[in-house]
Chain A
Amino acid sequence: MGYVAIKGGGRAIEGAAGAAEALRAAEGEDGRPLTLAAIEHQLRLLTSRVVSEGGLYHPRLAALALKQMQGDTLEAAFALRAYRSTKPRLLETPVQDTGRMRLIRRISSAFKDIPDGQMLGPTFDYALRLMRFDLAGESPETFRGIARRFLSQVPETDLPDTFPKVVDALRAEGLLPPAGQPREPAFDITREPLVFPVPRSAALATMARAETGSLLAIAYSNMRGYGDVHPTIAELRVGSLPVMLPHPVTGEPTEAGEVLMTECEVVAMYEEQGSSSVAGGRKPGATEDEGESGGPPVFTLGYGACFGHNETKAISMAILDRALQKGMRDGPSNPSEDPEFVLLHVDGVDSMGFANHYKMPHYVTFQSDMDRLRTTRTKAGGKAAGRNDEGVQS
């Protein structure tokens, strides 16, 4: 008699990998492997999700991860994170100025007329969600001409490279507290564990690489009434941010590259002067000087930003940032205001890993469970427990 429990693990794993690979290529003779460029561009929003949730700005590797994981965003982000674990951190980036973003889109739902105007850009917001059956049989020739035709029709304009930030206008009017200077270095969640209470920068970093759906669900709970942020989008912008790093020789800030990112600033209701919740409150959560209490009431701000083009995520994050600031200051009265609840449950790699680990063998612990149940039932006494025992075990 062999060892029956869980024999042949090695062969099973190889077989499983082979079966999954075969499904990837199930188109057979007519199939054409996806190119990484096709994934990166044609599925750009998928790639965006993966670079953001993977916490590594590498669209080409993200495309590879999506191809390898057959479109599973959680798995793809996970692969990118694991890749990142092998790389040392070379330097701490200085604060980047998102006012310098080269925009493809920027809107404000707070003001009709914002400095330099609204720019709808690439969005499905006002597209009718009708199936476009013409795409089903799209010819390569038509496809190749699309971008060229679009660019040839775009009029030459004197659009500036950069646009001013809407919140700066609000600040100039005194409706928002002045922008603070960071009072302590940003918390690096890749090098330090979250031990609560955590500073706001730790919350922002955690949310910036959180799973989109998880952030959305908790933010939505706040929007529906488990919370009271009532946001107005002061500005949502999407574009390429030039990344400025100190030159290795001169130390001068030098453009090292650019990252596509989405940034959202929501304005929430103003708060009473002198109440504990005026924006200048000094609490462990606050890392920025956001003005002094005692002045006139001001609006409050929630901030969201992530790699890639992912507006749902940036908006959700901005709402949660505002909710968490309130929770850090006054104590949470809703799940979305509880830093521990939000920050420990939004990471896709952690949550999906743990959900899936239940598929692993739990023979030993289940044996212990049965022991407890049988003993308890025996003690509960009566012949009935003895008879039913067989039923429990099967």
Chain B
Amino acid sequence: MNPGYELPQNEAGYSFGFLDEYAKREVRRTVLKAICIPGYQTPYASREMPMGRGFGTGGLQVTLSLVGPGDTVKVIDQGADDSVNAVNLRKFIELTCPHVDTTEHTRDATLIQSRHRVPEMPLTEAQVLVLQVPYPDPLVVVEPSEARRKTMHGEGDYSRLLTKLYEDIVQFDEITISHRYPTRINGHYVIDPSPIPRYDVPQLHQNRALILLGAGREKKIYAVPPYSQADPLAFDDVPFRTEDFTDEYGRRRACARCGAIDSFLDELIDDDGARIWQCSDSDYCNERLAAAGKQEVARA
């Protein structure tokens, strides 16, 4: 290297959205293709982001390629805005996207990036939900080769996946897939809906918002367009079931904080060693509390 070379002192002037314009344009083209073929894993040349592969680089590339001035972005992880990774991604968006607002309120957001949860509050046609995806392909549990999986998707051959579900029932009397539940979109492609709980899967069905799923490390983008069919794989006599939040008396557990009995709950051990349940969606919980006049609801 030229010995007289000096490192530029001010390289902090990154372009809007960090990625160069060609990269963002490529992501947008991929997004358009993904929307046109619901559930199809569209390959793209995923770029390296300044956070780890697996930390949401796929979702982030989608978010950064779509966001523009006037947008309001919400970032959640495990349903919460203040979890470390959500904070990190939000800070990065604030740093690289001047004039873009961020919010913690689902209702105020135009673009929501999330890991592992779909917000409890129903989304609108004006919103886009971007989900971070570690494993884009539901067939990976039955077929390790990507080339062979691609053929299986093309032929709509999900027989081995259905066999896996069947074998679960034979062995455990229950389908053991807890999250990343394989879901058929618009009657053809089966997707891995990202590691959302089964509780969130029905939200994909006929959702008013555009749902985009970005897998950075595996270099795929796929979409569940607004008002799409989304059917979790199941059998006529073994219906799809979401997580069971009933207590030993058969009552639906309530959030210890806001009292909600219609939300996905985190299970926690409090200081006294007692088990308590609390909304996983922090904004939903806070909104309910605010509506109730900031009255903490007594533990159910």
Residue on B nearest A89 in the bound complex, by CB? B22
Alpha-carbon distance between A350 and B55 when the two chains are bound, in angstroms: 11
Chain A nearest CB, measured from B42 CB (Å): 9
Specify the main secondary structure of chain A where it touches its partner.
helix
Which of chain A's residues have a CB closer than 8 A to the CB of B197? 364-365, 367-368
Contacting A3 at CB < 8 Å: which of B7, B80, B146? B80
Are B87 and A375 in contact, with the CB atoms below 8 A? Answer: no
Q: Is B189 an interface residue (CB 8 A)?
A: no
Chain B nearest CB, measured from A241 CB (Å): 13
Q: Is A196 an interface residue (CB 8 A)?
A: yes
- In the complex, which range does the number of interface residues on chain B fall in? 35 or more
Question: For chain A residues 320-375, which have a beta carbon within 8 Å of chain B?
Answer: 340, 344, 349-350, 352-358, 360-365, 367-372, 374-375
Alpha-carbon distance between A360 and B77 when the two chains are bound, in angstroms: 10
Q: Is B98 an interface residue (CB 8 A)?
A: no
What is the 8 Å Cβ interface bit string for chain B, positions 276-300, against chain A (1 contact, 0 not)? Answer: 0010101001100000000010000
Are B1 and A59 in contact, with the CB atoms below 8 A? Answer: yes
Are B296 and A1 in contact, with the CB atoms below 8 A? Answer: yes
Which of chain A's residues have a CB closer than 8 A to the CB of B278? 3-5
Are B285 and A1 in contact, with the CB atoms below 8 A? Answer: no
- A-B contacts counted at CB < 8 A amount to 199
Contacting B7 at CB < 8 Å: which of A64, A257, A363, A393? A64
Contacting B50 at CB < 8 Å: which of A6, A13, A79? A79
Q: Is B49 an interface residue (CB 8 A)?
A: yes
Are B83 and A9 in contact, with the CB atoms below 8 A? Answer: yes
Residue on A nearest B6 in the bound complex, by CB? A60
Which of chain B's residues have a CB closer than 8 A to the CB of A109? none
Are B87 and A9 in contact, with the CB atoms below 8 A? Answer: yes
Alpha-carbon distance between A249 and B270 when the two chains are bound, in angstroms: 72
Are A361 and B78 in contact, with the CB atoms below 8 A? Answer: yes
Are A340 and B174 in contact, with the CB atoms below 8 A? Answer: no
Also in contact, A376 and B147, with CB within 8 A (given A6-B82, A363-B266): no
Which of chain B's residues have a CB closer than 8 A to the CB of A31? none
* Residue in A13, A78, A371 with the greatest tally of chain B CB atoms within 10 Å: A371
Interface residues of chain A, those whose CB is within 8 Å of chain B, are 1, 3-10, 12-13, 36, 40, 58-61, 64, 78-79, 81-82, 84-89, 189-197, 257, 340, 344, 349-350, 352-358, 360-365, 367-372, 374-376, 379-380, 393
**Can you name 6 A-B pairs with beta carbons within 8 Å?**
A79-B50, A86-B18, A88-B20, A190-B47, A193-B43, A354-B217
